[in-house]
Amino acid sequence: MPSRKLKEFLDANKIKYVSIQHSPAYTAQEIAASAHIHGKELAKTVIIKKDGQLAMAVLPANYHVDVEALKKVTGANSLTVATEQEFKDAFPECEIGAMPPFGNIYGMETYVEDALTENKEIVFNAGTHTELIKISYQDFLKLVKPKVLSFVK
């Protein structure tokens, strides 16, 4: 079952989505393999601390955040990848590390890697380590209104 907050948000906005169940998996690579999804279609969420505030960086599972590039393109004075300890309370209904890429419903800025714009659909964690949600990339853009930037290596 997707996180209540995510499901209510998608339903309230009349977004068509598909729920995908998979065996427990914790890394983006494990999830992609378990659910038979190409790494570029699986959007992983990396929580960052930008000038002391939590924010989301969303990128294809087969990429890595280039912290220096992200710091530069966001104009941040400081930017680091947040530790689980720093963000665990920000997503009370989600398993740690399985938060969906919807910073807007958690009061966070959201940055999306430009490489995701090539996808017709994206798949992402639904708040657990056993379920994914698939929606159109255009619906994701419309709902989240992220800043689309280039910040991977």
Cβ count within 10 A of residue 145: 11
Which residues are bridge partners to 54 per DSSP? 49
Q: Are 23 and 33 in contact (CB under 8 A)?
A: no
Phi, then psi, of 27 in degrees rounded to 5: -105, 160
Q: Are 61 and 39 in contact (CB under 8 A)?
A: yes
pLDDT in tens, the chain (153 residues): 567 889 999 999 999 999 999 889 888 888 888 888 887 889 999 999 999 999 999 999 989 999 999 999 999 999 999 999 999 899 988 999 999 999 999 999 999 999 999 999 999 999 999 999 999 999 999 999 999 999 998
pTM attached to this predicted model: 0.94
Query: Tell me, what's the pLDDT at 2?
Result: 60
Q: What is the DSSP track for the chain?
A: ---HHHHHHHHHTT---EEEE-S---SHHHHHHHHT--TTTBEEEEEEEETTEEEEEEEETT--B-HHHHHHHHT-S-EEEPPHHHHGGG-TTS-TT---S-GGGGT-EEEEEGGGGG-SEEEEE-SSSSEEEEEEHHHHHHHH-PEEE--B-
C-alpha 129 chain-centroid distance? 13
* CATH topology (fold) of 4-149: YbaK protein (3.90.960)
From the list 3, 16, 84, the residue with the least C-alpha distance to 46 is 84
Tell me the residue length of the chain.
153
